[in-house]
Amino acid sequence: MDRSPGRAAPRAARCVLLALLLAYPGGPGAAVLAATPPAGAPAPADLEREIARLHQELDRAGSEAQRSRLEERLAQLWVMRARGFVGAHDATRAADAYEKALDLAPDLLPALAELGFLELRAGDPDRAMMLADRGLLAHPDDGWLRELRGEALYRDGRLADALPEYEAAVAARPDDAALARRVEKLKRELAAEGGYDRSLTAHFTLSFDGTRDEAAGRLVLEAVEESYGELSSELSVYSARPIPVVLYTKEQFHDTTETGREVAGLFDGKIRLPVGGITASSPELVRVARHELVHALIAAKGPGGVPRWLHEGLAQLLEPRDPARAVAGVRAAWKGAGRPGIDPFSYPTALSFTAWLDEGHGRARLLWLVDLLAGGTGEGEAFDEAFGAPRDELVAAWVRSLGGDR
């Protein structure tokens, strides 16, 4: 009997491999960014069974050619399994599955690129850069690897070096509108930051205009450095690398970040503040700097999905901002949504619910929730573990505490 892998595999196995080819049409990076596996993707149990079956086949393989074909198929299935873990927000098991794929097929493009993007989400641009460089030796023109390399350089503050990589990615993927927008954003940042001097401290790299904003730079640096020890201790996290802080005039800030005039600061991997021209510290400056620093420190905790309401709730709580002053805004948000709750997002509801959890259940449990979510645990499971109660049950209790009816 012919026992070559192509003929030995049953129909279910061939369907799994066909699904592999159809899954994630957006390419390697899209898999890492996807919240859930695409419709029609093989079930985890089916993948596990097929992986186990092919490992048995590999143990019995009689020729190098047969082993090579089996190893390639196994590597592809491990990539599919990794994507499932990504969709389940289990970054640790996803990385392990990608590594298994690369052990079997060291040049497998999806594994190299997707693991690289996962390492970026975990805050390790050096590891992402290594994977990109390794992949480009075998796939020198691949647009996903060029994007990965460009983003790793960007995260390292090397904007001028990142731009050619991004432009090469666009040349390889000319129909990717999101990638083209990313390049335009990078060009705006280069134009805004190109004439800036850089200052390095133990915890921050500060970019500022040396002729107009030197005083602002010193004041912001003092504000974030003074807050770093307190907030990093409070959140039990210390950033492994300096956090980039970029200062703008108000006009530059809104033009570069494309935000509304009401936005006082932004964190998107860098703390961005429109403070050009200030000559003295103020409570408002300290408050905004602390707010964005909280975002940076939460991001440093891990690559998992800390939801926006919790990000913003903690950032406001630790500014600090008085939750009692948010009640009117909470009720206005409920009226607009037609139903009390924390969805859709609003800053007052985020602050109020976060403060209610903090006061009623303790800071330790609230931060345990953050740690679980940052580590990749789903929101429902994280609430059960941190508070011993479902999320919806706690939301309903918070609504009742404010006189709402749910």
pLDDT digits (tens, 9 = 90+) for 302-358: 766 799 999 999 999 999 999 999 999 999 999 888 889 998 899 999 999 999 999
3-state secondary structure of 208: strand
Higher pLDDT residue, 45 or 366?
366
Give per-residue pLDDT as tens, 90-137: 888 889 999 999 999 999 999 999 999 988 887 788 889 999 999 999
- Report the DSSP pairing between strands 266-267 and 271-274: antiparallel
Q: Tell me the CA distances in angstroms from 306 to 39, 175, 295, one per residue in order.
A: 25, 31, 10
Print burial letters for 31-45: b (CB count within 10 Å at least 16), e (below 16).
bbeeeebbeebbeee
User: How far apart, in whole angstroms, are the C-alpha atoms of residue 10 and residue 333?
Assistant: 55
pLDDT digits (tens, 9 = 90+) for 240-299: 778 888 887 767 666 666 666 667 788 888 898 887 667 677 888 889 999 999 999 998
DSSP string for residues in 142-166: -HHHHHHHHHHHHHTT-HHHHHHHH
Question: Domain 5-179, what architecture?
Answer: Alpha Horseshoe (1.25)
Predicted confidence band at 166 (pLDDT cuts at 50, 70, 90)? very high
Position 157 pLDDT exceeds 80: no
User: What count of Cα atoms within 13 Å lies in the side-chain half-sphere of residue 399?
Assistant: 17
pLDDT in tens, 17-52: 333 333 333 344 554 545 445 555 678 888 888 888
Q: pLDDT tier at 16 (50, 70, 90 boundaries)?
A: very low
pLDDT of residue 196: 54
Give the single-character DSSP code of 322. Answer: -
Residue given tokens 């432009």 in the structure block: 167
**How many residues would you count in the chain?**
406
Q: Please report the pLDDT score of residue 197 as a whole number.
A: 52
